[in-house]
Structure 1
Amino acid sequence: MTDNLNKALEKYFGHQSFREGQREIIEDVLQGKDVLGILPTGSGKSVCYQLPARLMSGAVLVISPLISLMMDQEKQLAASGYKDVIAFNSFLSVQKKQDAFRNLAAYKLIYASPEMLQRKGFVKKLSELRISLFVVDEAHCISQWGHEFRPDYLKLHHIIETLQHPPVLALSATATPEVQKDISFQLRKPAMARHIYPMDRENITFQVDELETPSEKIKRISNVLKAHPVPTMIYFSSRNWTEKAAAELSAALPDMNVAFYHGGMEQSDRILIQQQFMNDQLDVICCTSAFGMGIDKQNIRLVIHFHLPPQIESFIQEVGRAGRDGLSSVSLVLLSPNDDLLPRKLIQSELPDREEIARVIRYMKSRVQQGVFRLPEQDMLLESLQISETKWRFLRYHFENHGMMDNDRIVSSFDWETIQEKISRVAAERTKYKLAKVNELLWWAVQTECRRKALFAPFQDTTKEPSYHCCDRCGFKFSEWAPVTKATRKSESYNWKQALKQIMLQGDSDEEIKSG
């Protein structure tokens, strides 16, 4: 099998050797085992199911949480000549979506969001196929303790059962032992073969700078980029700050091209910015967490965190977008007083509080009393309830879990007060857990030990020997950094109108899977 896999890897992907963990996972997948794979960001997790899709009979179904991730992988495969792939997302025109449904059996690799799998017609169509492998990408989303908890992921075991229990491959870059156990439990796959590899990358160096104000942060970024004009991603927790910082850095760095990216932009603008960055026409992206997942740009040298993300797992994933070519790259965190307030505020706004839960319960109870059991369309419902879509997803999952709802229909009357108290306790427990994750990252930023060892301690027992520099606690200074810089920027005459026409198919709108 070894020689055959090496030949297949070179034939389909042009690589002469596997990266750490890829071969072991693929061999188990091809033997029909259920597999949990934890590999560092940038290690090529997608090959673990894309290569089996070429070799197995039947179709490989990939559950992915982000539209841009699906699109990017579909585009890369199509560019390499692999046409038997389809990604169901909002960029499919109505006509192409209908054609894809009719000809679903023609595809070897099918991407879909967990929300798409709540459509009974789509699942029925999938059940008519032979699904040889069921892939859960970004599998930490399935765990209630994962940093991107998504309630619809918790329903995947029902889909697996409907599809006659195909082998399952769950992949993630950041999952603590606690989350790994929960992934296996939630998928109802207790005997998964586990391939858990160290998450740290030897070529990434860590530094934290403590500053007093946001203005000082902008000045620090300007000085770093003047000395080291390298491809850079700067993460913010605020959409407004991405735009403000991009404007200020553009003025301070006239020789560099700077742009912003966030979930509030038009989809066509986001795709344009993404493609320009991938093609080296942009040097610096000021972005929210909406940017980066699935972006396989090899030469990002610097990832800066202007704001702290809400947990270590997100931080590790975002840092892991640097240095995918193995060359020296740096993670720079800019810390100032009260930087914890924004992530705490965001966490407390994610889940419904007691008053909101009580208000929704009263609304449902009143409909039952009126003999109206079906809920209105989601937009009307959210407006009536005055809650966000994220909060409604959380509540809907728990209503269904308690047998109160079936699709959009309230099943019957209940002990409303008991249900209300149970859901309130779960929301409070979840919020408390997430706030503790903020404290965990804050502790990491201010502790005095080796940053690499402290960062990865919750995930693994040891860390790798750095290829270049370790961290500022171990003596790193930016003045000593000698990164590889690009010689020339690609031609500015690239026809982006034509590029957009090729990569975009405006159509009906599925829900946006993630924003920021």
Structure 2
Amino acid sequence: MQHTPLLEDALKNYFQYTSFRTGQKEIIQDILQGQDVLGILPTGSGKSICYQLPARIQEGLTVVVSPLISLMIDQVKELKANNFKEAVAINSFMSPAERRSVYHNLASYKLLYVSPEILQQTELVSRLSRLDVRLFVIDEAHCISQWGHEFRPDYLKLSETIKALNQPTVLALSATATPEVQRDIIHSLNRPDMIKKVYPMDRENITFCVEKVVDDLEKTDLIIQLFKKYHVPSLIYFTSRAAAEKIAVLLSEKLPDRRVAFYHGGMEQMDRISIQQQFMNDQLDIVCCTSAFGMGINKPNIRLIIHYHLPLQLESYIQEVGRAGRDGESSVGLLLFSPMDAFIPTNMIKNELPDETDLANLFQQLYWMSKGDQAIDHATSEQMANQLQLSETQWRFFRYQLEKHGIIKNNHIFYQKENWQYVMESLKNLIKERTLYKEDKLNEVLAWVHTATCLREGLYRSFQSTYRIPEHSCCSSCGFIWSDWKPVETSANQRYFSSWQAKLQDLLLGGDSMAGEYAGEYNETK
């Protein structure tokens, strides 16, 4: 075990910090002793130190499962700037030659970032299994529960990967996980002896505000008035891509001195990363985005988080609003609510999972394909999804369940009448169960929005028994008014240009330029 003075020295030597934040040292000490740990720490508390420091001071390789390419790229870039050259991320942007080079030199790295999907590649797992993988980390571990069952089922296969890598020490990290989600993470990873390190997730410097309005027009007017008064880095969250684009364009027109962009799942990956980097570098003031934007972003001076639409669950809201005020300065989370707002998330929940008709059509198609021993390769999968009119998410859900129950093995269909009847009934029940679960989560959000008591207490009730005294105004239920808010503001001292051509045009002709690039996410509507 590392003694405390040695850990303090290592922290200062490698990361230039003089002391640990709450929970960091305790988690590091446990994993250095070989204990599996589930760490729940508030957003902005420096969770990455919990595995980056061990990766530097202990032998072997640390593998980090991360949900977003942009998040991996940022982490590796920051580590290399901090003279940690033995860090690398494997992602879809790599050329075949770059990926081969990393594969052939895996033994020279100390820290490897990958997505759960890439970890399903046989060649990579085979190479890793021959190395000394000392620590296996799941960053943003709530994704196992939040995304694993529908959007990204490869999260549910991580326990198999851990076994293939010779059972290294496991660290799962998240900022938001109810006791129920904690149990789901531990069960999915098959680590029953995992030590829980759960710390208060409330943020004393964030004020919570719910404003009830008549319609979207009133929402937009309120947002414009706020930005005319406050010049602060801000995020506006939407569940609709079209709305994010529309409001971004409108704000650019109404607020010519602000640099505005939008970010959603219909965009190219490079455009997403571009927007994220511009926001991080203070080249954008406002980003109209869907829910993935900001995950893992360590931008200290975000002051205002606005929710134009309802989040699907309180966990998502805490994650998103927690991106404000990481420097400890006064910040506000504003949720706007109109009577029609519940319809969008309700329809999203309804459309995320397949229904009983989809289930029956799928098994009929599989039956006929089994007669001809037709393989379910990538092309066939896409063709089936199109024929059955299934979304990518719905097909991904079906495919995982079919493989889990042995109906699809090695891309071939195995027909057994009794087993198929059992699986059909099981899937029917699972779909009902997951839909009810999501509806309950949405109802929790609606109940919170309509509460007449303290918003802070209601927000954290499911996660912890108490909360700390806020440093500034508590919430709109406890007397917060906008005239009381005096945030640290930023000045518009740097113009944003969408390309070098636009910058040249501005220099030569004094032309105008607008931030119209954008980026993406999973859980959103078009």
* TM-score for both structures, normalised by structure 1: 0.93
Q: Which moved more, 1:421-430 or 1:266-275?
A: 266-275
Correspondence for 1:220: 222
Q: Equivalents in 2 of 1:58, 1:29: separation in Å? A: 14
Instruction: Give the equivalent residue in structure 1 for 2:315.
Output: 313
| Residue 439 (1) aligns with residue 443 (2) | yes
Match of 2:262 among 246, 252, 260: 260
Three-state SS of the structure 1 residue aligned to 2:192 is: coil
Shift of 1:446: 0.8
SS class of match (1:62): strand
* Deviates further, 482-491 or 85-94: 482-491
The reply on whether 1:277 has 2:303 as its aligned counterpart is: no
Paired residue type of 1:11: N
Deviation at 1:131, TM superposition (A): 0.3
Equivalent position amino acid for 2:400 in 1: Y
Q: Is the 8 A contact 1:66 1:513 kept in 2?
A: no
Match of 1:473 in 2: 477
**Rounded Cα–Cα distance in structure 2 between residues aligned with 1:407 and 1:20:** 46
How far residue 176 of structure 1 moved from its aligned partner, in angstroms, is: 0.5
Show the 5 A alignment for 1:157-196.
157-196=159-198
Q: Distance in 2 between matches of 1:244 and 1:383?
A: 29
Distance 2:484 2:46 in 1: 30
Question: Is the alpha carbon distance of 1:331 and 1:147 closer, same or farther for their aligned partners in structure 2, counting shifts above 3 Å?
Answer: farther
Alignment pair present for 1:389 and 2:392: yes
Alpha carbons of structure 1 residues 376 and 235: separation in structure 2 relative to 1, 3 Å:
closer
Could you tell me which residue of structure 2 aligns to residue 18 of structure 1? Answer: 20
Task: Name the counterpart of 1:400.
Answer: 403
Task: Describe the shift of the 1:495–1:401 C-alpha distance in structure 2 as closer, same or farther (beyond 3 A).
Answer: closer
Partners of 2:301 and 2:289 in 1: CA distance: 17
Distance in structure 2 (CA, Å) of the matches to 1:147 and 1:321: 25
1:367 aligns with 2:369: yes
2:482 is aligned with 1:484: no
CA pair 313-146 structure 1, distance change in 2 beyond 3 A = farther
CA contact (8 A) 2:346 2:439 kept: yes
Superposition map of 1:408-423 within 5 A: 408-415=411-418, 416-423=420-427
Task: Give the alignment of 1:142-153 within 5 angstroms.
Answer: 142-143=144-145, 150-153=152-155
Aligned to 1:76: 78
Q: 1:465 offset after TM fit, Å?
A: 0.8
Task: State the one-letter code of the partner of 1:433.
Answer: Y
Q: 1:106 aligns with which of 105, 108, 112?
A: 108
Distance 1:145 1:106, change over 3 A: closer
Gaps of 5+ in 2: 502-519
Per-residue deviation, 1:266: 2.0
Change (3 A) 1:218 1:147: farther
Q: Deviations over 1:402-431 (max 9, x none)?
A: 121224222343432332121011011101
Instruction: Find the partner of 1:322 among 301, 306, 324.
Output: 324
Alignment of 1:237-252 (within 5 A): 237-252=239-254
Deviates more, 1:299-308 or 1:176-185: 176-185
Going from structure 1 to structure 2, the CA distance change for 1:400 and 1:472 (only over 3 Å counts) comes to same
State how 1:91-102 maps to structure 2 within 5 Å. Answer: 91-102=93-104
| RMSD, matched Cα | 1.9
> For residues 357-389 of structure 1, what are the alpha-carbon distances to aligned partners after superposition, in whole Å with 9 as ceiling and x for unaligned?
111111111111223244452333322332122
Determine the structure 1 residue equivalent to 2:511.
none
Secondary structure of 2:345's partner? helix
Match of 1:331 in 2: 333
**Aligned AA (2:344):** L
Which 10-residue stretch deviates more, 193-202 or 371-380? Answer: 371-380
Whether the aligned pair in 1 keeps the contact of 2:148 and 2:156 (CA below 8 Å) is no
Structure 2 counterpart of 1:470, one-letter code = C
What is the total number of aligned residue pairs between the two structures? 502
Cα 1:409/1:328, change in 2 over 3 Å = same
- Residues 18-97 of structure 1 mapped to structure 2, 5 A cutoff: 18-97=20-99
Task: Give percent identity, aligned residues only.
Answer: 53
Separation in structure 2 between the aligned mates of residue 329 and residue 397 of structure 1, nearest angstrom: 41
In 1: Cα distance, 2:62 partner to 2:453 partner:
44
Q: Partner residue of 1:507?
A: none
What letter is aligned with 1:168?
Answer: V
Render the CA deviation track for 1:27-83: whole Å, top value 9, x for unaligned: 111111100100111111111111111011000011112222111111111222222
| Cα pair 1:365 1:413 within 8 Å, conserved | no
TM-score normalised to the size of structure 2?
A: 0.92
What amino acid maps onto 1:75 in structure 2? K
Cα deviation for residue 177 of structure 1 reads: 0.6
Gaps of 5+ in 1: 498-511
Structure 1 residues 202-239: Cα deviation after superposition (integer angstroms, max 9, x where no partner):
10000010001111101100111111111100000111
The residue type equivalent to 1:230 in the other structure is: V
* Residues 23, 44 of structure 1: alpha-carbon distance in 2 compared, 3 angstrom cutoff: same
**Residue aligned with 2:323, SS:** coil
3-state SS of paired residue (1:143): helix
Distance 1:291 1:145, change over 3 A: closer
Deviations 1:62-115 (A, max 9, x none): 111222211111111122222211111111122111111111111111111111
Q: Which amino acid aligns with 1:288?
A: T
Counterpart of 1:322 in structure 2: which amino acid? A
2: CA distance, partners of 1:256 / 1:350: 35
